[in-house]
Amino acid sequence: MLRNKLMLAAAILSGGAFASPAAAQNEQFIPILSYRTGAYAVNGVPYANGVADYYNLVNERDGGINGVKLLVEECETGYATDKGVECYERLKGKGPTGAAFINPLSTGITFALTEKTTTDKIPIITMGYGRADSKNGAVFAYNFPLLGTYWSAADIAIQHIAKEVGGVDKLKGKKISLLFHDSPYGKEPIPMLQVLAKKHGFEFTPIPVTHPGVEQKSQWLAIRQNRPDYVLVWGWGVMNGTAVKEAAAVAYPREKMIGVWWSGAEPDVTPAGDQATGYKALMLQHGAGKFPVHADIEKHVYAKGKGASEPGKVGEVLYNRGMVNAMLGVEAIRKAQEKFGKKPLTGEQVRWGLENLNLSEARIKEMGFEGMLKPIKISCSDHEGARDGRVQQWDGKGWKIISDWYTANQSDTEPLVNDISAKYAAEKNIQPRDCSKES
Amino acid sequence: MIALGQFLEVLIGGLMSGVLYSLVALGFVLIFKASGVFNFAQGAMVLLAGLALVRSLDLLVAWGFPVWAAIILGIGFAAVIMAITAWLIERFVIGPLVNQDALTLFMSTIGVTFILEGAAQMIFGSDAYPLRLFPTDAWFLFENLFPGGILVNKLDVWGGFIAGILVAGLAIFFERTKTGRALRAVADDHLAAQSVGIPISWIWFVVWLAAGLVALVAATVWGTKLGVQFSITFLALKALPVLIIGGLTSIPGAIVGGLIVGAGEKIAEVFLGSHIGGGIEYWFAYVLALAVLLVRPQGLFGERIIERI
């Protein structure tokens, strides 16, 4: 364990955090907001390792992006909003051109930084989390909730439930509860689920769990009495494993629990042991497992002793997610370089790269992510870029994919996105951009 | 209309949860009762003990030891770790601060908290480690009287049983043994105790060791419930209202306080929380604690301090 921590420090250093001033002139600075300590470290560590390893891979294998090396620095947020803002303020101006973008890995920090990043002209990438209304890039020019918002996740979850019960029309009269982390993250899907409940006629009950979620007896006794047909779990950290254990204690079938993609990783089920068997969770496209890009990481990063993770954990769900997140940021810089030149870019320039990012199936295959991701195309009006997901189920030893691909219905999500983002624009005196004129 | 069966289920579940809070609160009481120090590090000690136990257990099982032998050796290893921790705390933190005021000692335990949390995770890892020492399924009682019966979790019952043994053992230790009486003397007045020949360093080592062992016991139950992971340190926050209600110096008070907090917060969450948006149990425990503070500042079972002026 100590060895791994020393290796991590070496990996971060080799990423160029302390590069010489001359070398630093041709480096692109990327801050990593992570949490390797505290209540959510169990989930934060594998994610941060995936991010760190991918940036390291780009430097070690490719010599950076078109010759521009990545200069990275981690800052520990502990999943606390105040620390996240502090990290952002400390790191936003580092490197020759400032931060290329920021990944807070916290919806709470995202809410706190949304206005600041717009003022500072630094994109905020919130892949699979953050503000769902920020899908509307006309209003939220600097927010990029790539691959899926919580409203898309809610829609996909209800689609899957509809399929299990025999059709959308069978949802009427069903009881669906949402067990959520009582935070901006956990509350985010509620408006969408209320819309869907009204549309399909199911009874929706939100049930909050106080941070960090170590005590859930009250909630599960209430669930035992109410006997919902399904329980959606919007948890993080210890809350997920505790939910599974409490469900087992009140004999609630784990097959009727569906976690969001942040409640479907290995640390969420392993503490519950056999009791987690049958538990389901959404996938933010990818799941666990190794793909061609992992072979590159093993060859160019781990073989050189520069890996951040324990080798056995490479390929776990959250490790892979960190890797995908880092890759999308790197590709946005690469795209921006096509327009602004092969040099370190400002946040504003990288924002253009993000908004014009278009990863085809061929490019995804070329990068070694085939099987993990579907094509993604970002635009001014669509900062989400893709809204596809699948469902996986824990079989006691590993996650097994049990569904085909679902795509969130924009007919469900779009009216809410437009409504809430318009209110935000009015409140903040933002003049929405005319996306037909953006290029 | 609240069904009687549901009310009884929530009440029993709450009382059982309260006993588990008491397991953590007992460590606080022990140190305060014997040394006058409010040990903020008790939650971190539960984490350290739990990590030492689960990591050694996993290693021993992987080496081919039978599970029963691995459990015994694992508990022994964790106890040794807690003894070393107690010695280090006495030698380098509390010992040098002898005769300092209570606030200084309290602040030093905050420092100890962060050191223990960091060191424990650095040495033993920061993942979530499953621990399965007790059954975690449930009994469903009185199914003929109430639809679905009344759920009682077996782990909670084990927790109650263990807490009972701990309280009895600690009561005997404090009341019937020479060391226990010496502990109480040191708590009353460090200088006076030293002047009559009580070895204060040894006594403080003993009391921190005892608190470490109580933390180990709490870790076995809470580790089985949650898995051993950092969040286990948050249990210290659940123990605070228990201490305020029961009194900082009373071992039975820790149990009674736990029962009141557990039952109160669960009943509030299930029957009141659903009408006002939910998520109230965490702060409702402190509402109960404040109510007791207003009426009886020393807690229900705390010692009433009378000072001549």
Please report the number of interchain residue pairs, chain A to chain B, with beta-carbon separation below 8 angstroms: 122
% residues pLDDT > 70 (chain A): 94
φ/ψ of A399, rounded to 5, equals -85, 135
Query: Cα(A276)–Cα(A248) distance, rounded to whole angstroms?
Result: 8
**pLDDT tens, residue by residue, A368-384:** 999 999 999 999 999 99
Tell me which amino acid residue B210 is. Answer: A
Query: Cα(A190)–Cα(A186) distance, rounded to whole angstroms?
Result: 8
List B residues 241-280 in contact with A (Cβ-Cβ < 8 A): 265-266, 269-270, 273-274, 277-279
% residues pLDDT > 70 (chain B): 97
DSSP, residue by residue, A107-158: HHHHHHHHHHHHHHT--EE-TT-S-GGGG-TTT-TTEE-TT--HHHHHHHHH
φ/ψ of B138, rounded to 5, equals -130, 155
Best CA proximity match to A189, nearest among A147, A131, A138, A229: A131
Model pTM?
0.89
Best CA proximity match to B219, nearest among B45, B55, B25, B50: B50
Which residue numbers of A have CB closer than 8 Å to B's CBs?
A: 1-2, 5, 36-39, 41-42, 45, 182, 206-210, 212-215, 217-219, 221-222, 224-225, 237-238, 241-242, 245, 248-251, 267, 270-273, 275
Tens of pLDDT along chain A (439 residues) come to 444 444 444 444 443 444 444 456 899 999 999 998 888 999 999 999 999 999 999 999 999 999 999 999 999 999 999 999 999 999 999 999 999 999 999 999 999 999 999 999 999 999 999 999 999 999 999 999 999 999 999 999 999 999 999 999 999 999 999 999 999 999 999 999 999 999 999 999 999 999 889 889 999 999 998 999 999 999 999 999 999 999 998 999 999 999 999 999 999 999 888 899 999 999 999 999 999 999 999 999 999 999 999 999 999 999 999 999 999 999 999 999 999 999 999 999 999 999 999 999 999 999 999 999 999 999 999 999 999 999 999 999 999 999 999 999 999 999 999 999 999 999 999 999 999 887 6
CB spacing of B123 vs A249 below 8 angstroms: no
Q: Which domains does chain A have, with CATH numbers?
A: 2-148+287-379 (3.40.50.2300), 150-283+389-410 (3.40.50.2300)
Determine the distance in angstroms separating the CA of A264 from the nearest CA of chain B, rounded to an integer.
Answer: 14
Query: Cα(A381)–Cα(A371) distance, rounded to whole angstroms?
Result: 27
Best CA proximity match to A1, nearest among A295, A298, A308: A308
Q: Please say whether the beta carbons of A101 and A330 come within 8 A.
A: no
Query: Cα(A72)–Cα(A95) distance, rounded to whole angstroms?
Result: 9
Best CA proximity match to B220, nearest among B161, B297, B140: B161
Residues of A in contact with B9 (CB under 8 A): 221, 224
How do the domains of chain B map onto residue ranges? 4-295
Determine the distance in angstroms separating the CA of B13 from the nearest CA of chain A, rounded to an integer.
Answer: 7
Q: Please say whether the beta carbons of B71 and B131 come within 8 A.
A: no
